[in-house]
Structure 1
């Protein structure tokens, strides 16, 4: 698994860090020169916003499912705090233009949001197969059809798939991707395979597997992790009940421990991993 530091050296994280640092490095320095009489009021706002942001991040940090999610939370709240501070660094003035700092700041925030998406983490070491609708049918779901004929000839071998249904534009998918990659590298065997399918690119396949790609907020079910065995769904996270209702985020979480324990990966890995010579002799 790549170092956590290397995961954050990309355009999304670097540019957002630069935007957050733009306030103390540029906006505040500009206010000190342009409005020296307003520094006391600005410092008061900085203390209030800083304390509020620190308390929120402390609470959110304790509930974060991964380091990636926590870093994303830090970016969100720090950028939110930066907007009022940028305004008070250059407040609107009836006798002058004012508001220049906050206008520039909000424009930069909008540009980053529209053109610099979350990292995909495709370069992380893993044993994940990138699936298309064709390979999903042939490799994952076709096991149900070929099971009976191959079982009769003694060639059938049970293969289970743990598939991540994700979207590149979705923040939750970006957060769970490093965790899923690490789990695949640790637990993948010939009998327990890992795959991923982009629901934004292949929405028809997602709908067929009862994944609502249009749901947002706490009703969102992307990313979904699904265990498929014998061409049939066995388990999924987040869970969907028979009546169509779902366990909403963040009640059902996607931390590493939730995935490993929820799908019984340790037990499945122990059953499907190749036996060493000593174990074969004992058998």
Structure 2
């Protein structure tokens, strides 16, 4: 039943998945996640790779590589049990796929492992997940405006998110929070945000 629910949720979000998967960050992440698969299966390249298979076929996975990939699948399934958005699900898959690729490439050839690890570090330092830029009814507070605004009208209830731009969880939750603000914003219920990176004292208080 849970598998069926996940499948229908995936179909529901499919158009949205296509839309943001085409962004450069996710396109590069996808290619990096399948890099070992491509190298191992591409004719003209795979014939020159080492393999521990009994039949000597270097264009197919050996038993240890299958073991690593199965372990990756188990880790992704456990990690995704706590994910709340499609972005988090896909992000977890990309993250652990890259980790598995590092292990697989180092096992195959230390030079390929170092090259792939270097690419991962460069990607991590230069590319950040795209921030949500869609419609929303959210007021962004500073340390000087939040108290005044919250106390202005006692009939208004505020839901305030304290977020950090560097946090993957906050980035993936941004679209969910925006959807909530679009659906439920009214005269008696308002939505706000405070950047804890800029206004740490307010969030502590």
Does TM-score exceed 0.5, indicating one fold?
yes
1:43 maps to 2:43: no
Deviation at 1:116, TM superposition (A): 1.6
Q: Distance in 1 between matches of 2:97 and 2:52?
A: 21
Matched, 1:57 2:57: no
2:134 aligns with 124
Compute the RMSD of aligned alpha carbons. 2.5
- The 3-state SS of whatever aligns with 1:40 is coil
Calculate the TM-score normalised by the size of structure 1. 0.58
1:83 equivalent among 63, 84, 102: 102
Q: Pick the aligned partner of 1:176 from 142, 165, 173.
A: 173
Counterpart of 1:158 (choices 141, 155, 158) is 155
> CA contact under 8 A between 1:27 and 1:101: conserved in structure 2?
no
Partner deviation per Cα, 1:145-196 (whole Å, 9 max, x = no partner): xxxxxxxxxxx66111111110110111112111111111111102211111
Contact 1:87 1:101 (C-alpha < 8 Å) held by counterparts: yes
1:62, 1:172 → 2: CA distance?
14
Q: Give yes or no for contact 2:137–2:191 (8 Å, CA) kept in 1.
A: yes
Alignment of 1:100 with 2:111, yes or no, is yes
User: What TM-score, normalized to structure 2?
Assistant: 0.78
Please, which runs of 5 or more residues in structure 2 have no aligned partner? 1-12, 55-60
SS, match of residue 133 in structure 1: coil
- Contact 1:118 / 1:168 at 8 angstroms: preserved in 2? no
Unaligned runs of 5+ in 1: 91-98, 144-155, 210-283
**1:34 paired to 2:48:** yes
**For 1:17, which of 16, 27, 30 is the aligned residue?**
30
